Amino acid sequence: MLASLSIRDVVLIEALDLEFGPGLAALTGETGAGKSILLDSLGLALGVRADAGLVRNGAAQASVSASFDLPADHAAFALLAENEMAPEPGEPLLIRRTVKADGGSRAFVNDVAVSAALLRALGGTLVEIHGQHDDRGLLNPRGHRALLDIFARLDGKAVADAHAQWRTAQEALAMAEADVEAAERDREWLEHSVAELTKFAAEPGEEAELAEARSAMQKGARLAEELAAVRAHLDGSEGALAGLRQAARRLDRLSGEHALLAEALAALDRALLEADEAEDKLSRADEAFAYDEGKLEAMEARLFELRGLARKHRVEPDALAALTEELSGRLQRIEAGGEGLAALSREVKLAREAYWAAAEAASAARKAAAARLDAAVAGELAPLKLDAARFRTTIEPLPEAQWGPAGLDRVEFEISTNPGAPFAPLVKIASGGELSRFILALKVALAEEGGAGTMIFDEVDRGVGGAVASAIGERLARLAGRTQLLVITHSPQVAARADGHMLIQKRSDGLVARTGVHALDVGERREEIARMLSGAEVTDEARAQAGKLLGAM
């Protein structure tokens, strides 16, 4: 709810600080006292277009600050969270707007600068202002479907979920169709590429293996003569190994004659072991460096072809195997595309049918609720001197292209204000007082939950009195049991229903006129209601009548 309002240098208001409580608050005062300035000031804080004409004459700028105490689940906090501005839990929401005399304006939410667009969106969640020139709230057809759903206690989750599943199925089908269409255009290229890649059968890591083997074979060709010379020194009857073995056999017969000979034999045996190991490694080196001209040519040809295929398909050589699988899969999807598209089409059809069933159930619930709402509003019209008016809730089917998460329906509240007159949108009503009373009737009938936490009615009692004014006051009080409500009124019957009463007065020192607001105590309140009853001169009879009105409430 609106907790406080501070106004500085707005038109006739030099400095004004107001505090508000729950329930119904009445603002009264003589015509021209400045009640509209209060609404303009609050509208400025809520994002209405800034007008330099609001700046008090001689002041550099005007400023308005509004503080709101809101429950944790209020829509304003969700909106701020979307803009990464969520306040700390338990903090009030403070809005401040300034307008310079040259027309420039700035807006702040909890001391953080915000755009005018965000401020307007935020203001729409906080306060509803219903008056002659209001074109928001109940007058906006875009919100009528949601209001009817609240009245019907309709849970739209089933429709929204079914719509999401239908859209997902449609998107999957569209993507599959696009893939098949694109793939079909590339079919000839795919067939050639898959055949070529499959025949070549590249393997991951093959390039490195071929390059290493080719390098080894090329080295073998260069080292073959040297290795042959080394083998000649070691092998054969005249080679070093044969000489070592012959020497070891002879020394073995002599080793028992002296310890040194035994040690010499042991050293010779170790040399033979090392020489045998050297011979083994030379043999393995021969195998590693084995040079086969035909094999080398084949190896180089495959390596060059491998790299050529990689360049052709713009991938690394090691990725050719994966590319073969990918292109083969695309080709298979083309061949199986008809079956896949048929399956996805069936899923779309089933999802559409499920959405239609959920949306039709919601439409039926709306139609039943519309009949109840029409009857409830009709019951409120006569006491508010709108007995010639008729109200109806129009529900029309939307074209399929406009079906959405909320269903198949367009909903709009319409009225006919005179017998025989056609029904028209609420916003077409000409009389401001009539419009405010009609909105009051609709608000009471809807028993709306989840709307703005504060509502303001501007002269809802215009042009009526007596029993009608009492009926308006009774309905305002009833509505104020669910939400904070401020009413600007000229009716003593309405003012007497309020939980709190503020008097708006304009004073002049002969040079400058100023507007002020005074919260009335019990005695002052009786005096003000007596003034509203009697006019310029307050009589004892008017005071007695004011006391009766207050006592009856």
Each residue of 197-253: pLDDT tens digit? Answer: 999 999 999 888 888 888 877 776 666 666 666 666 677 666 677 777 777 788 778
How far apart CA 290 and CA 223 sit, in angstroms, is 10
Residue 255, pLDDT score: 77
- Residue 358 in tokens: 């959920």
DSSP letter for 404, please. Answer: B
How far apart CA 477 and CA 472 sit, in angstroms, is 9
Q: Is pLDDT of 448 > 70?
A: no
Residue 236, pLDDT score: 62
Most confidently modeled of 119-133, 484-498, 537-551? 484-498
Q: How far is CA 80 from the centre of its chain?
A: 12
Q: Is pLDDT of 510 > 70?
A: no
Q: 211: part of which helix (H) or strand (E)?
A: helix 206-234
- Residue 490 in tokens: 């000229």
- 450 confidence band (pLDDT: 50, 70, 90): very low
Q: Is pLDDT of 131 > 70?
A: no
Q: Which domains, from first to last, does the chain contain?
A: 10-51+124-158+353-552 (3.40.50.300), 187-335 (no CATH)
Residue 483, pLDDT score: 87
Each residue of 144-198: pLDDT tens digit? Answer: 998 899 889 898 899 999 999 999 999 999 988 887 787 777 788 888 999 999 9
Strand spans (E) along 11-131: 13-19, 24-28, 61-68, 93-100, 105-109, 112-114, 127-130
Q: Is pLDDT of 135 > 50?
A: no
| Phi-psi label, residue 62: left if phi above 0, alpha if psi -120 to 50, beta otherwise | beta
Q: Is pLDDT of 136 > 60?
A: no
Q: How far is CA 143 from the centre of its chain?
A: 19
Q: Is pLDDT of 398 > 80?
A: yes
- Residue 434 in tokens: 């009539």
Mean pLDDT of the chain: 85
Q: Is pLDDT of 352 > 90?
A: yes
- Per-residue pLDDT averaged across 8-37, rounded? 87
How far apart CA 3 and CA 94 sit, in angstroms, is 10
Specify whether the CB–CB gap between 440 and 113 falls below 8 A.
Answer: no
Q: Is pLDDT of 132 > 60?
A: no
Each residue of 278-309: pLDDT tens digit? Answer: 877 877 776 666 656 778 788 888 889 999 99
How far apart CA 181 and CA 183 sit, in angstroms, is 5
Residue 297 CB neighbours (<10 A): 10
Q: What is the Cα gyration radius of the chain?
A: 47
- Per-residue pLDDT averaged across 110-139, rounded? 80
- 387 confidence band (pLDDT: 50, 70, 90): confident
Q: Which residue has the higher pLDDT, 543 or 184?
A: 543
pTM for this predicted structure: 0.62
Residue 386, pLDDT score: 86
Q: Which of 537, 127, 76, 533 is nearest to 546 (CA)?
A: 533
- 538 confidence band (pLDDT: 50, 70, 90): confident
How far apart CA 64 and CA 51 sit, in angstroms, is 13
Residue 503, pLDDT score: 92
Q: Is pLDDT of 260 > 70?
A: yes
Residue 39, pLDDT score: 86
How far apart CA 454 and CA 485 sit, in angstroms, is 6
Residues with Cβ within 8 Å of residue 221, at least 6 apart in sequence: 291, 296
Q: Is pLDDT of 333 > 80?
A: no
Q: Is pLDDT of 553 > 80?
A: no
Q: Which residue has the higher pLDDT, 515 or 162?
A: 162
Q: With helix as H, strand as E and coil as C, how does 67-100 read? A: EECCCCCCHHHHHHHHCCCCCCCCCCEEEEEEEE
Q: 518: part of which helix (H) or strand (E)?
A: strand 513-519
DSSP letter for 547, please. Answer: H
Is the sign of the CA dihedral 44, 49, 54, 60 positive or negative? positive
- Residue 80 in tokens: 């701020």
Beta strands 105-109 and 127-130 are unpaired
How large a percentage of the chain has pLDDT more than 70?
90
Each residue of 44-91: pLDDT tens digit? Answer: 999 888 888 899 988 999 999 999 998 888 888 888 888 888 777 778
Q: Which residue has the higher pLDDT, 339 or 361?
A: 361
**How many angstroms separate the first and last alpha carbons of the chain?**
24
| Phi-psi label, residue 99: left if phi above 0, alpha if psi -120 to 50, beta otherwise | beta
Q: Which residue has the higher pLDDT, 8 or 538?
A: 8
How large a percentage of the chain has pLDDT more than 90?
35
Q: Is pLDDT of 134 > 60?
A: no
Helix axes 293-313, 320-335, angle to 10 degrees: 60
Q: Which residue has the higher pLDDT, 30 or 304?
A: 304
Q: Please return the burial class of 228, using the count of CB atoms within 10 Å of its CB with bins 0-12, 13-18 and 19+.
A: exposed
Residue 430, pLDDT score: 52
- Residue 4 in tokens: 């406080």
Q: Is pLDDT of 508 > 80?
A: no
Q: Is pLDDT of 133 > 60?
A: no
Specify whether the CB–CB gap between 234 and 278 falls below 8 A.
Answer: yes
Q: Is pLDDT of 388 > 80?
A: yes
